[in-house]
Amino acid sequence: MLTVHAARERLRRREVSAVELTRAFLERIHALNPRLNAYLTVADEAALAMAREADERMARGEDTPLLGVPVAIKDVLSTRDMRTTAGSKILANYTPSWDATAVSRLRAMGAVFLGKLNCDEFAMGSSTENSAFGPTRNPWDETRVPGGSSGGSAAAVAADLCCAALGTDTGGSIRQPAALCGVTGLKNSYGRVSRYGLIAFASSLDTVGALTKDARDAAIMLRAMEGRDSCDSTSVDVPPIDVDALDAARDSLHGLRVGVPVEYFSDGMQPDVEQRVREAIAHLQTMGAEVCEISLPRTHLGLPVYYIIAPAEASANLARFDGVKYGLRVQGRDLIATYMETRGAGFGAEVKRRIMLGTYALSAGYYDAYYIRAQKVRTLIKRDFEQAFAQVDIIAAPVSPTTAFPLGAKTDDPIQMYLADVFTLPVSLAGICGISIPCGFDREGLPVGLQLIGPAFGEQRVLEVAHAFQQTTDFHLKKPRLSCEL
Amino acid sequence: MLTVAEVERIARLARLALSEDEKARYARQLSAVLDYAAQLAELDVEGIPPTASVLAVHSVMREGDEVVAGLPRADALRNAPDTDGASFVVQATFDEE
């Protein structure tokens, strides 16, 4: 297992060159990806060119936290001259002319891009089964889903097919796959990282972040990407992450007030998920944290609110795919027919379902009853968290009610699939931050995630607690046994 | 339960061509999600302001209007399904007469 910080240390000591490291990852990808389907594009030549440049920069004495470090990028983020599909047939041959801001900041620091990672189409899904290019398989059990929508990112990190991966989280799409694949995934507060160049799903909810092998790497990746960007009017400057401060905070959690929301331990939950999460909370207590029960009474409303607001925004955002400027075109008898045929053929079932749902919620006669009402309840959900954070510093909860489920288990029942995100949706609606970190395994050996939730722009504290947890546990160091190990 | 006719109306608004199978399936599935969302109708939200953005977003003036390079034409056209080398080529929007 090679973390970003360990890779950087080996590069700095000249134990390995960026080109050697990149070659090793590319070999491993070519060996394992045919089975896992984590990568949609493996960028051998571009990666090696970037690695050569990183080696030259190091030879000139340059040093950055990412110089020469091989990473990979979820395929909803634009990458200059590197195919970007959003997991959709409609963009199967799309090559952007620019980088997303999160991507260009990593590029400027000298990171090496190994390729683009599979995801649910337009990041809509919880299992990566909605990808037009086939599902990604969970490295812990290849008959199971990796979670979603950043399933390729989570699987690639878990299987050591990169040092770290970029993902996006609109309703749980970083945290839930991180939990199901046993890796660390930080969903940043809305606005902390620019959305410029992210292929938009739900603009008031979309966030860009990283899936990593530990909390230190999560801090390094956020530090590299965060901050105001003139291309995204909703991006903001806040005091930057202090990576070195993680160690200062690691020995004790004395004085830390941890809230445990009663609503996050529901009846339908897998018993050993609840057990592992409760054990993890007890562990925080032995490290000195004060643990108390809290209530987030509108938790159950997260799902209905999200499935009005997100599809409404998606139906507007996806109107741009019309077969004119980019992407697939299916010619009809007139222009309207061309739009309809193109979109009918180019979008998959879940994307069409959400466009329809959003169009309905925004249509005349239903706008107030569904969309405005959902936005009002969103306010109530946000207030739940504000009231909780008046009493506690951090909230500890499960990430998902179950561990990784079998491929195909929920594809016929949208609501069952949506329920996989029931514990991540409220954080997204409130625009606050949350991290998923490994906290044990179920009886079948599948990873369980602990969610640590902080207030808006409270990433520093969340990362410090996650790091402290990882300094005293080894769940994040466990690796899946892949039958064709190199 | 949504009718197939309602599904057709929404699909037309959303510019989606659907098969007969899809229409029947979406009538059922969209109804299930809307039933789930019906619990929102039971809440008292009197006097609660809607949240459109979690940030206190407000309009600002651009800080200085500098001339910068735009997207080169070739880049803008590189992904287009049909071009004449200078423009996107599409079907006529209006009839000729």
Q: Can you give the pLDDT at residue B63? A: 76
**Would you call A11 an interface residue with chain B, using a CB distance cutoff of 8 Å?**
no
A74 counts as catalytic = yes
- Calculate how close chain A gets to B27, using CA atoms only, in Å: 10
A contact residues 392-431, partner B, Cβ 8 Å cutoff? 414-415, 429-431
Assigned superfamily of B4-42: Glu-tRNAGln amidotransferase C subunit, N-terminal domain (1.10.20.60)
Q: Is the pLDDT assigned to residue B66 strictly greater than 90?
A: no
Q: Is the pLDDT assigned to residue B93 strictly greater than 90?
A: no
Domains in chain B: boundaries = 4-42
Cβ neighbours of B96 in A, within 8 Å: none
Predicted-complex ipTM score: 0.94
Q: Which of B60, B79, B89 to mutate to test the interface with A (most CBs of A within 10 A)?
A: B79
pLDDT tens for A216-256 read: 999 999 999 999 999 999 999 999 999 999 988 767 799 99
Q: pLDDT band for A268, please (50, 70, 90 cuts).
A: confident
CB contact under 8 A, A343 and B16: yes
Mean pLDDT, to the nearest integer, of A438-443? Answer: 98
What gap in Å lies between CA A72 and CA A82, rounded to an integer? 12
* Closest Cβ opposite residue A374 in set B16, B29, B40: B40
A352 counts as catalytic = no
Other Cβ atoms less than 10 A from the Cβ of A1: the count is 13
Tell me the three state secondary structure of residue A472: coil
Assigned superfamily of A4-254+464-477: Amidase signature (AS) domain (3.90.1300.10)
Tell me the three state secondary structure of residue A371: helix
Tokens of A275: 């057990």
Q: Can you give the pLDDT at residue A486? A: 43
pLDDT tens for A336-348 read: 999 999 999 999 9
3-state secondary structure chain B: CCCHHHHHHHHHHCCCCCCHHHHHHHHHHHHHHHHHHHHHHHCCCCCCCCCCCCCCCCCCCCCCCCCCCCCCHHHHHCCCCCECCCCECCCCCCCCC
CB contact under 8 A, A94 and B79: yes
Of A373, A354, A366, A372, give the one whose Cα is nearest residue A316.
Answer: A354
Q: Can you give the pLDDT at residue B94? A: 80
**Would you call B92 an interface residue with chain A, using a CB distance cutoff of 8 Å?**
yes
**Would you call B64 an interface residue with chain A, using a CB distance cutoff of 8 Å?**
no
Cβ neighbours of B23 in A, within 8 Å: none
pLDDT tens for A303-326 read: 999 999 999 999 999 999 999 999
CB contact under 8 A, B17 and A415: no
- Calculate how close chain B gets to A36, using CA atoms only, in Å: 29
A479 counts as catalytic = no
